[in-house]
Structure 1
């Protein structure tokens, strides 16, 4: 990926150069509005998942400390940065009302009942989620290349998500060393979380952005599904398939020779599926 000009600067997620955005060029980009807004909802609601995960992992002092003092603040910072971007570029959009509706919906789905049966397997499942977010933000950075501020914002969040993946993977390995779950159970947990991610939070967030921005179309499910499909197709062109496959295979801890044998066919299959 060619680095946007803004990436060479020293700005960070607490200080975004909103004043340098070409509003006339960006404001008409429906795709960037929906992608940035949906992402801002999910990131801004991440404290609910964190609280649930902390309750689930009570007694795991090191993990709980990291969740409270690193993971949650960084996720919430992503939400603040993305919502600041959306509010600046599209000030007429009622972000607060749309987020409140999303969060009410999301909070009914985000419960402890959705967690894996053991903390170790939940750490593996979290690797799937972090893979999804890291690859999404890489694709968004590529897709938004003509808007360097959003591209830079997405790239910075991607870096955080990769770091989060590394932490969850490390905690998974610690659990695995003490109580090995077996590859089949790990594979089942990974597969279950992949399927949930495909039908979950992103579509919910997009729906609430859609109904507030286009209230006249709120009952038009066909228009929403067409929008969802269109955005998906646009991101697919930039999706980092190789990166995703490598990250998803890692918790299985396959022998090196087997990893090499399956990695290529999986990458080709995934690229074919994304056509």
Structure 2
């Protein structure tokens, strides 16, 4: 379990002159998705309904994720006094609901579920590491450092559970890879896009493509090669592949080129005026 609380954050060190307005937009969105962890915990407890030990671990995981959202939300309110975190969160959960009344994983197996969770934690640990290294505001840097550390431990929790479920279910490496790739593609689903909309453009009609592009443009630009390399290795490991050697280099290189290509395409669309009305990165 995480050993820090909101009281451990050096709030008095907050420096409004060092707030990055573009980073603030993605922090607001991230605060909402982190705070919504209770829904995912309920889903996971239902999937692992006969495993009380894992259920207890999930409860602790959800507690830490909620703390992440509260920390980011409090920081966002300091950076933007007009931002109401609780009201924005209510708007988000009213519009984005995940099915929790289940008894089996939507991934087809518990092993598939743990692969998917590892991919999520790979993404969040990389994301907060990138924000930590990019942030100039000292309190945000401290918060991101704490969250990144938690997310790496969460990956370990789900990876360890993955080894247990794999021994029982014997899910093929090919199937695990498909689940990993599928979960990576879901990073552009409604959750982050809708969170970005609720936090930044609630007065406009929701458009998934617009919000997804606006979020991605700001998030991807914070990554550096080192973040991609570590994330790629974690993803390969979860899929049952060796992250070392040539495969690891190929995977991280391909992912890095993809991120740079996406940024180039989004910037090029804006410069050339090809983006549809209301679909620019300025959202």
Selected match of 2:15 from 22, 43, 49 = 22
**Which runs of 5 or more residues in structure 2 are unaligned?**
261-283
Change (3 A) 1:228 1:111: farther
Higher relative contact order (CA 8 A, sep 6+): 1
1:1-275 equivalence runs, <5 A: 13-26=6-19, 29-68=20-59, 70-108=60-98, 112=102, 115-144=106-135, 146-212=136-202, 215=203, 218-219=204-205, 224=211, 227-237=214-224, 240-254=227-241, 259-275=244-260
Asked whether the 8 Å contact 1:37–1:82 carries over to 2, the reply is yes
Change (3 A) 1:78 1:11: closer
- Which moves more between the two structures, 118-127 or 97-106? 97-106
Measure the CA separation in 2 of the matches of 1:172 and 1:11.
Answer: 27
Provide the alpha-carbon RMSD of the alignment. 2.5
Offset at residue 22 of structure 1 (A): 1.3
Q: TM-score, normalised by structure 2?
A: 0.82
Change (3 A) 1:220 1:189: closer
Q: TM-score, normalised by structure 1?
A: 0.84
Asked whether the 8 Å contact 1:40–1:80 carries over to 2, the reply is yes
Measure the CA separation in 1 of the matches of 2:236 and 2:216.
Answer: 27
Measure the CA separation in 2 of the matches of 1:187 and 1:136.
Answer: 22
**Paired positions, count:** 256
